[in-house]
Amino acid sequence: MVMKRYLLFCKNNAVGLSGFVIASGIVLYEKFKIDGNVLASWTTNFEPSVKWDYNWDRRDPNSLVKPDKSSEGTTEKDLKDVENEIKKRTPTASRHLLFIRHGQYNTDGKTDFDRYLTELGKKQADLTGQRLKEMGHDYSVLVSSTMTRAKQTADIVAKSIPDVPREETDILREGAPIPPEPPIGNWRPEKNQFYQDGARIEAAFRRYVHRADPEQKTDSFEVVVCHANVIRYFVCRALQLPPEAWLRLSLNHGSITWITVRPTGRVGLRTLGESGFMPADVTSVL
């Protein structure tokens, strides 16, 4: 009724589109308002196409604590014990994961040893290290893939954030995580490569992307230097998007992808392939 009267008013008084939009908002506000409170989307019978799985990392404290069924009946003390155990296993800190794609490298190299950083790639890594320093976080670890281009990038980054403990791991090496959808014609790995790399990269995701341990009392900032395919797959998995969408994302060399994992199991993507701290003539993607 309100909308009909307003439309008539608009017709008679030549009110513009902006006024109509404002009126529409007012009507919607009134429709979903009860006792002065606007209803949240999940109270308006809206059904999401995919619901968030809070136990995606298998660390939801409610799933880790099972009531004792050895004795008959459940006492108030039993319930209190379960409640206390859940509280003990509930994280209170967030994990901030900063994934760095390595710098530009020699793509003509036949072996990993020959796929070293170009001069441009070294400059990109240096700028990335400076950016991390300027961000001013207390980094707890600097992890890198064992591939030459990733190790060299991590070495350069480490100069800007010295005294951060270093780690290297084969599990973060580049690979083919899962057949992409839609497929791309100029990139056709062997089918076995998906099986081999996919299992390894998924294992890397489970190792590095998860909520904090309950013993962690303050937020952590961890730097991980690895590869575009690995990072893109991690982003899709962490956000519970179709993992086969990974190839639709693009990351510049030396870029920063920042994922935050909250104690509740919620995940936020702070930045995807950020490289705005580099001059335009220094950026590259291939």
CA distances from 29 to 17, 25, 81 (A): 18, 6, 45
Helix axes 228-238, 191-208, angle to 10 degrees: 60
Q: How many CB atoms lie within 10 A of CB 141?
A: 13
| Residue that has been written with the tokens 């036949």 in this structure | 110
* DSSP code, position 136: T
**Cis peptide preceding 182, ω within 30 of 0:** yes
Distance CA 27, CA 182 (A): 41
**DSSP H/E element including 195:** helix 191-208
What tokens appear for 278 in the block?
A: 């580099």
Residue 82's identity, in one-letter code, is: V
Q: Is 59 annotated as a binding residue?
A: no
Distance (Å, whole) CA 159 – CA 157: 5
Nearest to 175 by CA among 156, 211, 202: 202
- Contact between 144 and 226 (Cβ < 8 Å): yes
Give 144-167 as a DSSP string.
EESSHHHHHHHHHHHHHSTT--EE
Numbered residues of the known binding site: 149
Numbered residues of the known binding site for substrate: 149
